[in-house]
Structure formats: structure tokens, C-alpha cells
A and B are shown apart, each in its own frame.
Chain A
Amino acid sequence: DTEVTQTPKHLVMGMTNKKSLKCEQHMGHRAMYWYKQKAKKPPELMFVYSYEKLSINESVPSRFSPECPNSSLLNLHLHALQPEDSALYLCASSQAQSGANVLTFGAGSRLTVL
């Protein structure tokens, strides 16, 4: 299995809602990432988990809360989002440490905040 699976593909939520984005991989990768991508912009790093521990938080607002329940799963919990948070959220995985040079991306979750 060489895929990263993200659910849902599309999500529409109000500013008071609580929702979660989910990501799963079965490639044995021990690093997992969340990126945010706006239209015609590059992916912007949000969080990195390495061996199930949060290793990088790029000063992301607390309304985004990541969780890594095990080595195959990565969640992004969303609460009290703003319309400007509407974007494509990409999950990626890679080998950890010295192998962290090749990212495998999921298809993304397109989020719209009303």
C-alpha cells in the first residue's frame, strides 16, 4: 500500500462547529505532516509528527489541534475556525529522520468555513 488516504474529501462547516480531518497511511512511515494550501499558493507547513510525537508546530493557531493516535493515523481537529481558514488541507507522510526527503501526499481535504 503506497497511499495516504484523507477523509473527508470536502467539508463545509460554520464558525462554531467542531470537526475533524483524518489521515491514514500503511507504508510504515514514522513521520506525518499537515500542510495547508490556498489556491495558487504553495503548501504551507502546519505540523510534523515524528514517531507519534509532535516535533514541529509552525505557530499554528490553537483552533487547529493535531493528534497522532498511532503510527498510521493523523487527525486534525478543527474548532471555531474563521472563513480565512478555508483551504485545501494536505496530509503527507515520509520515513523519519534521514529518510524524510520524500513526502507522499494524500489527495487532500477541501475545507470551506462559512
Chain B
Amino acid sequence: GQSLEQPSEVTAVEGAIVQINCTYQTSGFYGLSWYQQHDGGAPTFLSYNALDGLEETGRFSSFLSRSDSYGYLLLQELQMKDSASYFCAVRYSSASKIIFGSGTRLSIRP
């Protein structure tokens, strides 16, 4: 199968750091991406990992371990505007098949 698993909900405090995990099926894996979606909005791309290690983009970082079929999104210095749903997405095969995880709803408290 091509299922991806994420926690359904995470709550954090403004200014803190939060990590959202994602595990995936390995068959045909080409890369792991992260998307943010605010209520009523469209998903927007945050980060991408094809190789093991950490990718940093401002307050957001993404990590991949292909041997563990695992990745995470790290959000630092949380702001209220970071309250949104976060999806991991895996590209399977060279045919541009991109499947989304179940999504994690992040709520930020003052």
C-alpha cells in the first residue's frame, strides 16, 4: 500500500517548537514533502526531502530517514498564524504520483 500516517492533532504554545511526524510505505518512494493548509484555503508547499537529513527553510525544517521510512516537520518560534493543517506527501514512482498523509491539525495557544 501507499499509506502515510501522521498524528491527527497537536497543540502547542506560541513561541514554542513543535514536531509533526510522518511514517510512510517504502514501495516506490521518491521523496517526502510537507504542505500547510489553512481553513478554507488551498495547500501550500513548505519543504521537500529526497535524501536523508535536515532541510531548513526559515522557521520550518524537515527531516527524512529513508531507512526508517520516517520524516518530520519542525516548526520553531510558533506564531498564531501557524495554526493550520499540515500534510506530509510522498511522491511514489517517476510518474508524478503524489499521495497525501491524513493530516495533522496544529492549534497554537497564546
**Is the C-beta of A73 less than 8 angstroms from some C-beta in chain B?**
no
Q: Which of A11-19, A62-70, A78-86, A96-104 contacts B (4 or more CB under 8 A)?
A: A96-104
Interface residues on B, range: 20 to 34
CA A31 – CA B96 in complex, angstroms? 8
Closest partner residue, chain B, to A39 (CB atom): B39
Residue among A31, A43, A50 with the most chain B CB within 10 A?
A43
Which B residues are in CB contact (< 8 Å) with A41? Answer: 102-103
Say whether chain B's binding surface is mostly helix, strand, loop, or mixed.
Answer: strand
Point out residues on A near B: beta carbons under 8 Å.
31, 33, 35, 40-45, 48, 50, 55-56, 90, 94, 96-98, 100-108
CB–CB A105/B44 < 8 A: yes
Residue among B31, B43, B45 with the most chain A CB within 10 A?
B43
CA A73 – CA B97 in complex, angstroms? 19
Select which of B41, B50, B89 is within 8 A of A107 by beta carbon: B41
CB–CB B91/A100 < 8 A: yes
CB–CB B102/A101 < 8 A: no
Given A50-B95, A56-B95, CB of A102 within 8 Å of CB of B42: no
Which A residues are in CB contact (< 8 Å) with B91? Answer: 100-101
Pick the 4 closest A-B CB pairs, nearest first.
A100-B96, A42-B100, A105-B42, A31-B96
Given A42-B87, A43-B43, A90-B43, CB of A103 within 8 Å of CB of B95: no
CA A100 – CA B30 in complex, angstroms? 10
Select which of B41, B48, B94 is within 8 A of A97 by beta carbon: B94
CA A105 – CA B89 in complex, angstroms? 14
CB–CB B48/A102 < 8 A: yes
CB–CB A107/B42 < 8 A: yes
CA A103 – CA B34 in complex, angstroms? 10
**Is the C-beta of B101 less than 8 angstroms from some C-beta in chain A?**
yes
Which residues of B from 35 to 83 have beta carbons under 8 Å from A?
A: 35, 41-45, 48, 50
**Is the C-beta of B99 less than 8 angstroms from some C-beta in chain A?**
yes
B58 to chain A, nearest CB (A): 16
**Is the C-beta of B106 less than 8 angstroms from some C-beta in chain A?**
no
